[in-house]
Structure 1
Amino acid sequence: MKMLVDFFPIAIFFLVYHLTKDIVTATAVLIPATVLQVLYTWWRHRKVEKMHLVTLALVVVLGGATVLFGNGDFIKWKPTIVNWLFAVAFLFSPLFGGKALTQRMMEKSITLPSAVWMRLNLAWVAFFAAMGALNIYVFTHYSEETWVNFKLFGMMGLTILFILVQGVFLARHMPRDGQNGPSTTKKDEL
């Protein structure tokens, strides 16, 4: 259900864009859809993730500028800004609390040496930085329709691919039959 709620605003944006071929209209619908997403999450869980609040703020500001000025370039920057904010958060997370953000998110499910958590965290930093840059490349070199399709299918596909690669990386550190802890060597811990 959470994935459906998270996916709701982008699906609405995509649908309206393909029905109207107008990014301003699609953005005008995206803004209330994102507000509804956050309100529903608050109503259902009595809390809202910081990611949803950041996304809402960017949708309201950049989407508002898109609608106000009739210029789709504003909303096209949102994925880059979100991805780069995530890259910065992952990069600096060890300075606040001494743990990588990946470790804070996943340590209840998997035990890894600190060095492996840091490598995993840096991989996410690189991924988010690259996704932000790739978004700029797509919206500056391709048509608006191509960017809308990339925003939904390309970014989602690349994220799923990255998570699968991450899963292969993590599998190397999972306990094997007959072992109590993660499968690591001294080399992994460095």
Structure 2
Amino acid sequence: MQIITDLLPVILFFIAYKKAGIFAATAVAMISTLLLIGVIWLKRGKIDKMLAINGAVITVLGGITLLLHDKTYIMWKPTAIYWIGALALLFSRYAFKRNLIERMLGKMMTPPAATWDKLNLYWIAFLIGMGILNLYVAFHYSEDDWVNFKLFGATSLMFIFMIVQVFALRAHWVEQNQPPA
């Protein structure tokens, strides 16, 4: 369910782009993200931090895109999100001594501390790389190629990255009905 809600604004952006262009798609992404935040807040009474950050980034960069009628700003949006995520992982680990990856996955797996640190660094590197790749595609390929990459390429790379981790860490997964050792 979480994956669907995370991808919904991207899918709606893609559909709107194909039907009406980049500026209509930007407006749709902004509205759908803010509506999603509102619905989740009404259902749960709280909003995930990354969704709130995504809402803020899409509102600011999407708003600038529409105000200036310049697609450059919306094309920076995925990179901004990736790099904010990388910075959050980096600062939480080294400034606050908290590994966010461990906090998210700690109930599902029990690798040694060094493995958590490596996993955190892999995510930081991956997110930085995804930000660079987004900018490369955005400014070296057509707008249509970038929109297709945003939905299909970036999403596929994210899933592949996660699947590789699942297989690499399968020995550390905790059985659902057993308490962690």
TM-score normalised to structure 2 length? 0.92
| Aligned twin of 1:187 | none
- Name the SS of the counterpart of 1:77 in structure 2: helix
- Name the SS of the counterpart of 2:169 in structure 1: helix
Offset of 1:3 from its aligned partner? 2.6
| Aligned twin of 1:37 | 36
| Aligned twin of 2:13 | 13
| Aligned twin of 2:89 | 90
Instruction: Work out whether residues 84 and 129 of structure 1, in 8 Å CA contact, stay in contact via their aligned partners in 2.
Output: yes
RMSD: 1.9
Instruction: Work out whether residues 108 and 173 of structure 2, in 8 Å CA contact, stay in contact via their aligned partners in 1.
Output: no
Q: Distance in 1 between matches of 2:111 and 2:98?
A: 12
Deviations 1:114-144 (A, max 9, x none): 1010001101001100000000000010000
**Cα 1:174–1:39, aligned 2, differ >3 Å: closer, same or farther?**
closer
Greater gyration radius: 1
Instruction: Work out whether residues 6 and 37 of structure 1, in 8 Å CA contact, stay in contact via their aligned partners in 2.
Output: no
**Cα 1:138–1:45, aligned 2, differ >3 Å: closer, same or farther?**
same
| Aligned twin of 2:134 | 135
Q: How does 1:167-182 map to 2 (within 5 A)?
A: 167-174=166-173
Deviations 1:52-71 (A, max 9, x none): 11111111111011111111
**Cα 1:97–1:146, aligned 2, differ >3 Å: closer, same or farther?**
same
Q: Which moved more, 1:152-161 or 1:7-16?
A: 7-16
Q: Distance in 1 between matches of 2:97 and 2:63?
A: 38
TM-score normalised to structure 1 length? 0.88
Paired-residue identity, %? 41
